[in-house]
Amino acid sequence: MKLTTNKQSLSGTINIPSDKSISHRSIMFGSIAHGTTTIKNFLRGEDCLSTLAAFRSLGVAIEDDGETITVHGTGFEGLKPAEQPIDVGNSGTTIRLISGILAGQDFSTELYGDDSIAKRPMARVMNPLNQMGADCRGREGSEYPPLTIKGNPQLQPLHYNMPVASAQVKSAILFAALQASGETVVIEKERTRDHTEDMIRQFGGKIEVTGKEIRVQGPQRLTGQEVVVPGDISSAAFFLVAGLILPESKIVLENVGLNPTRTGIIDVIKQMGGRITIEEEGENNKSGKITVETSELKGIEIKGEIIPRLIDELPIIALMATQAEGTTVIRDAEELKVKETNRIDAVANELNRLGAEITPTEDGLIIQGKTALQGGKVTSYGDHRIGMMLQIAALLVREGEVELEKSEAIAVSYPNFFDDLEKLYRAGGN
Ligand code: SPQ
């Protein structure tokens, strides 16, 4: 599709779409709990709809009246074998987290997805789940999907030092630990998003977290709850950056989830000199209103423990860095290579096609600042976050057109992205 180019200013207020990570987990916890769970503000993006369909095919009754999702939880023991292999679409979160739930079942399940899912590494979840007693196998002896998960109702607890910083791996182990007999201990490499830990508590379970060490005593029985999903900071990120780098802009983003394990981008914006204000509201200040204004930014180094707190925002942070004064260096982000696409290569290739000066490295990117962008043909590689980042980049293109291939990927996490963008540039007088 032809992207919108050459916009001078963005203005207005956007109610950000709901959090993808929390939406997935709300269906999962609702299903494995006993009793009814109601979910408000569920994200009806393709990935979360894959999770919803997956649990329906495991025998869970889930209703959607267009506003509230109601999950009639069966408990772990009430899940039924799926009649067909389960299609997870493009969703890494679905395939990895559901594996931890299926690991404790007394039946086998086959899980498959699209071309991108078929390339995502799964040994990271298969290894710990197999150590707990499940039998998880990939395609033709490899670690890649389709996966077959042969569950084991007598799962053993595990003591596990995580080799990668991954909330998906941690969550898969925690779902298995809730079904095992005894205490599981997981030690994170770096702290990652902790929505699974939060929801174990919310659904009446017990979990102890001390720094990077997490302890869960199994088996546990969870109880259905009311879940209200906040807005997704990973979706807000595109408009946060747009408001900072386009001239004469001021954007207000409402109801953004502010879980501290997800707010690395706010720290980076502040460090780069961005004008950003946050008004926290809601229970435990876990959501709030964020305002950004056009800013003079400066390049910085981004590395270490902050990386998991902004991993999905790195493509749009890289675009922000092309407009800052000086060089920005991103390190310790090799996990970007195993997302929906290799995001290190995708960011460098596609932004360089538009005139940026970005060097990909083994674990990150080196980005020259103050580069003018020009028209060209680009692709999202079927990755929603690359697609949205390229549309924000196109707004800066003053001459020529930008043609984006595979723009449909954006519906994975932000089905109304183009409508929200249009509101902002219309209100900005474009
Ligand atoms: O679900 P999927 O495809 O893995 O989604 C992505 C994304 O950009 O939307 C990653 F590509 O987000 C992951 C995130 O990178 C969602 C997630 C979660 O909900 O637990 C955790 C992160 O992945 P990981 O591998 O670091 O645990």
Note whether 215 and 237 are same-domain residues.
no
Return the pLDDT at 280. Answer: 87
**Residue 6 covered by a domain:** no
Distances (CA, A) of 407 to 378, 412, 426: 10, 11, 22
**Percent helix / strand / coil, the chain, rounded to 5:** 40, 25, 35
**Residue 298 covered by a domain:** yes
Note whether 304 and 408 are same-domain residues.
yes
Return the pLDDT at 149. Answer: 98
**Residue 332 covered by a domain:** yes
Note whether 351 and 392 are same-domain residues.
yes
Note whether 200 and 107 are same-domain residues.
yes
Domain boundaries, position 274: 11-18+231-427
Note whether 88 and 204 are same-domain residues.
yes
- Whether ligand 1 lies within 6 angstroms of the CB of 91 is answered as yes
What is the count of structural domains for the chain?
Answer: 2
Are 276 and 251 in contact by the 8 Å Cβ rule? The answer is: no
**Residue 127 covered by a domain:** yes
**Residue 42 covered by a domain:** yes
Residue of 194, 312, 383, 420 marked catalytic: 312
Note whether 213 and 245 are same-domain residues.
no
Last residue of a domain, one of 228, 250, 266: 228
- Whether ligand 1 lies within 6 angstroms of the CB of 168 is answered as yes
43, 91, 93: residue to mutate for ligand 1 pocket, most atoms within 8 A of CB: 93
Q: Report pTM.
A: 0.98
Model pLDDT for residues 67-87, shown as the tens digit of each residue: 999 999 999 999 999 999 999
Note whether 198 and 251 are same-domain residues.
no
**Residue 65 covered by a domain:** yes
Model pLDDT for residues 9-20, shown as the tens digit of each residue: 999 999 999 999
Nearest ligand 1 atom, CA 339: 11
Residue 429 is which amino acid?
Answer: G
- Whether ligand 1 lies within 6 angstroms of the CB of 21 is answered as yes
Mean of pLDDT over the chain: 97
Note whether 288 and 221 are same-domain residues.
no
Note whether 235 and 119 are same-domain residues.
no
Mean pLDDT of 37-60: 98
**Residue 171 covered by a domain:** yes
Return the pLDDT at 283. Answer: 65
Last residue of a domain, one of 206, 228, 250: 228
Active site residue 419: no
Q: Where are the beta strands (DSSP E) in 151-274?
A: 159-161, 182-187, 208-210, 213-218, 226-228, 250-257
Note whether 56 and 177 are same-domain residues.
yes
Model pLDDT for residues 240-282, shown as the tens digit of each residue: 999 999 999 999 999 999 999 999 999 999 999 999 999 988 7
Note whether 202 and 250 are same-domain residues.
no
Residue entry with tokens 């540039």: 425
Last residue of a domain, one of 197, 228, 259: 228
Are 28 and 2 in contact by the 8 Å Cβ rule? The answer is: no
Strand partners, 379: 405
Greatest CA separation for the chain: 64
CATH of the domain at 140: 3.65.10.10
**Residue 4 covered by a domain:** no
Note whether 238 and 197 are same-domain residues.
no
